[in-house]
Structure 1
Amino acid sequence: MFTFHIGPFFEIIINWLKDNIEPFFDIIKIINEFLIISLEKILLWPPSIVIILIFTLIAYKLCTKGVTAFTFFGLLFIDSMELWPQTMKTLALVLVSTFIALVIGIPLGISAAKHDKVDKIVKPILDFMQTMPAFVYLIPAVLFFGMGKVPGAIATVIFAMPPAVRLTNLGIRQVPKEVIEAAKSFGSTSKQMLYKVQLPIALPTILAGVNQTIMLALSMVVVSAMIGAGGVGKDVLTGITQLNIALGFESGLAVVILAMILDRITQGLGVRK
């Protein structure tokens, strides 16, 4: 019977990358570590009530009164469970990971929308990124960046990026042809067409991609904690390994509350736009 294992070839590629472009990975690690730790310090520097009020104000501006009240009491509840520092560390990791995923994903989605060849190349890669078990990403991430927050962030970026690419691509492709023809008849350049016509019309769809990217980033909290990312995911993992029901439930509930708040705020931003 014919057998063929692709795993050893993948291992050769990973080892070659590690041996030959390690300085590049060191630069990525330094930048990511700086961003995550800096954001952690910003979120943890003021008293918790200040951050709670800031998020409540954002929810008030973008969402309904119900979401505003949920944001205030939800974050207050997290603080009362003594999970505030861990939750802010998780939030910092999620926001940095989401930012990187969007910085890469949105331009890639624009390129895929404008060029069919790019779209054909990108689609199977996105399928691979979305369907590959998240735990598999941890192996090369740890090899390249060691244990800690950075490999957790990198694995989160890979797992959470596809919706940003797909929905940016979809949003631009769904811009009505009549609108594009009208813009062309007024002499719009390709750049003007993108920034003044296609992106504004596609913005609700793109923001839906942002929302999904944030949700997927949060779903990686516990997985990232397995390689030393810390945050509230570490408490969830401790609850699982030690069969500590109380700790597991409270830390899991903190993740749920944070996810719901970020979800409603990003949805509110999309509706407002």
Structure 2
Amino acid sequence: MEALKKDPQRTGTFAAKNQYSPVKEFWKNWKRKKVAFMASIFLLLMIIVAVIGPYLTPYDPYEPNYSSILAGPSVSHIAGTDEYGRDIFSRLIYGTRISLSVSFISVFLGAVVGTALGLISGFFGGILDRFIMRSSDVMFAFPDIILAIAIIAILGPGLINVVIAIAVFSVPSFARLIRGATLEVKETLFVEAARSMGANKKRIILKHVFPETFSSLLVFFTMRIGTAILAAASLSFLGLGASPETPDWGAMLTMGRDYLGTSPHIVIMPGVAIFLTVLAFNLIGDGLRDVLDPKTKND
């Protein structure tokens, strides 16, 4: 310690190496959330499967094999085969890419539009606030899946229209969340200081208000992906999403329901995939809320 006191340069270097790092602090707190941490590892593996898995599948997910119809799990087909003899494990791997892509893109689009509307509504108030919130209330009057069915009934079935439908019913949820956070942040002292220094409204929103709402946005975004996976699977199950031959988890459930009594593995495998993926996103969302929320992260 005496050496450090005598050498100011070394003291400064020591302080710089031990200065506060938000990333390190987040990582330290995140590792303490054992359940959420394990869920994030599982989700990372799912993302890896979605990216490189289709290139490593043992069978073509579209190619039928009529000599191995409705075969149970075995060494050659670890998840069994479906009514056309197609390998269920290979179809699940392809379905991972489809389900994660559809859910992420749809929630991302809904988050972008909803966040913009929420910031405008909360920051400016007045007639804009009333119009955006009353429009959101009208959309909230319909259950999400009913609203999605109505949108697809207009646009027609297909994965692209599923993305649009999920994005549309996600918008009001994000708008209301961000509006509430904006109303709280815009009354803080640092925002008032920015106003007094002559900062324009666009700069205040983008540089001061939005960053303060990002933690709430990230938590809700993560949990909303789980909801989107369920919605996409439900729409495919109803025949409004992916076509029956597409290796989509919801479409696989639809095709397998007629064989539930004789070959339950056709339904169990995609059902377990949906359950575990949605559970992982929800657990990660809970963990992020505990770590990022200053009211709970020290509990």
Q: Specify whether residues 254 and 77 from structure 1 end up closer, same or farther in structure 2 by C-alpha distance, changes over 3 A only.
A: farther
| Residue pairs, 1:65-144, within 5 angstroms | 65-71=37-43, 81=79, 82=89, 83-116=92-125, 117-133=127-143, 134-144=145-155
Q: SS in structure 2 opposite 1:262?
A: helix
Q: Which residue of 1 aligns with 2:56?
A: none
> Residue 179 of structure 1: which of 170, 190, 193 is its match?
190
Corresponding residue number in structure 2 for 1:258: 277
Give how far 1:267 is off: 5.9
Distance 2:258 2:29 in 1: 39
TM-score (norm 2): 0.60
Find the partner of 2:204 among 178, 193, 196.
193
Q: Which residue of 2 aligns with 1:10?
A: none
Q: Which residue of 1 aligns with 2:67?
A: none
Which residue of 177, 181, 185 corresponds with 1:167?
177
Distance in 2 between the 1:61 and 1:238 partners?
45
Q: Secondary structure at the match of 1:227?
A: coil
Where do residues 224-243 of structure 1 align in structure 2 (5 Å cutoff)? 224-225=235-236, 226-229=239-242, 230=246, 231-243=248-260
Counterparts of 1:131 and 1:251 in 2: how far apart (Å)? Answer: 31
Q: Partners of 1:130 and 1:92 in 2: how far apart?
A: 25
Given that 1:109 and 1:165 are in contact with CA atoms closer than 8 Å, whether structure 2 keeps it comes out as yes
Change (3 A) 1:246 1:201: same
* One-letter amino acid matched to 2:123: K
How far apart in 1 are the matches of 2:174 and 2:240? 25
Name the counterpart of 2:62.
none
TM, length-normalised to structure 1: 0.65
Does structure 2 retain, via aligned residues, the 8 Å contact 1:62–1:269? no
Number of residue pairs matched? 213
The question of whether the paired residues in 2 share the 8 Å contact of 1:105 and 1:161 is answered with yes
* Residues 1:61 and 1:162: Cα distance change in structure 2 (over 3 Å): farther
Q: In the alignment, what sits opposite 1:205?
A: 216
Residue 156 of structure 1 contacts residue 224 of structure 1 at CA under 8 Å; is this kept in 2? no
**Are residue 216 (structure 1) and residue 235 (structure 2) matched?**
no
Structure 1: which 5+ runs fail to align?
1-59
Instruction: Spell out, residue by residue over 1:229-268, the C-alpha distance to the aligned partner (whole angstroms, 9 max, x if none).
Output: 2511112233445435433332122112222333455666
Q: Return the alpha-carbon distance in structure 1 between the equivalents of residues 268 and 48 of structure 2.
A: 17
| Mapped partners of 1:180, 1:114: distance in 2 | 11
- Residues of 1 paired with 2:96 and 2:146: CA distance? 22
Structure 2: gaps (5+ residues) = 1-26, 32-36, 54-77, 80-88, 294-299
Which protein is bigger by CA-based radius of gyration?
2
Give the deviation of 1:89 after TM superposition: 0.8
CA shift, 1:111, in A, is 1.2
